[in-house]
Structure 1
Amino acid sequence: MSNSMTEVILTVTNPVGLHARPAKLFVETVRAYKSTVTIQNLSRPQTKELPVTAFNLLQIGVRQGHQIRLRASGEDEAEVIAALTKLVEENFGE
């Protein structure tokens, strides 16, 4: 098993941040892949790196303009990071 990891830092531009509907899309996207994905809100230094779950996404309070770090490890880590990057860059389809 490899110890590789794929990481990206993104800025959330969605006017309402990462609220309930985008959080649901985020979790659904992660579940479509086999890799483990974590998220950290870099704009709130007190937040820790957490597994991507709907509860954790709401708990870290991502607002418009916040930077998030996503890390994935597993056999399809690059693909899941690419899918999540697209989701964020397209404002979660809103």
Structure 2
Amino acid sequence: MHSKTITIINPTGLHARPAAEFCQKAEEFGADIKIKKVAEPSKTGDAKSLLGIMSIGLGQGDTIEIIAEGEDEMLAVETLAALVGSGFGEV
């Protein structure tokens, strides 16, 4: 298992477009990937599910933990963390 925490920097948070981009990128990996809102650990979703991500309700300034388990877990976490860190092209 590999995980990393990162803060969402884009002004509108993980709304539909960035959430879809995150989901599409997550689907490229074989690992099981979850995304968790650090301030509310019960809000955890499947990173490969758009509904799973959107249901968490992530806004600017929220800290998330990306957790992956499987063959390419490290690459998955680092790639997705870099995507979040880029602000999805909105910053």
Using the size of structure 1 for normalisation, the TM-score is 0.88
What CA deviation, in whole Å up to 9, does each residue of 1:26-69 have, x standing for no partner?
Answer: 011111111010011123x2633221110011111000000101
Aligned partner of 1:11 among 3, 7, 23: 7
Aligned partner of 1:51 among 15, 36, 46: 46
SS of the aligned residue for 1:92 comes to helix
User: 1:8 is aligned with what amino acid?
Assistant: K
Query: What is residue 56 of structure 2 aligned with on the other side?
Result: 60
Q: Does 1:37 align with 2:52?
A: no
What CA deviation, in whole Å up to 9, does each residue of 1:46-93 have, x standing for no partner?
Answer: 633221110011111000000101100011001111110110110012
Shift >4 Å, 4+ stretches: none
d(CA) in 2 for partners of 1:49 and 1:61? 10
Q: Give the superposed CA RMSD.
A: 1.2
Query: What is residue 89 of structure 2 aligned with on the other side?
Result: 93
Corresponding pairs, count: 89
User: 2:36 is aligned with what amino acid?
Assistant: Q
Alignment identity in percent?
34
**Contact kept in structure 2, 1:47 and 1:60, CA below 8 Å:** no
Using the size of structure 2 for normalisation, the TM-score is 0.91
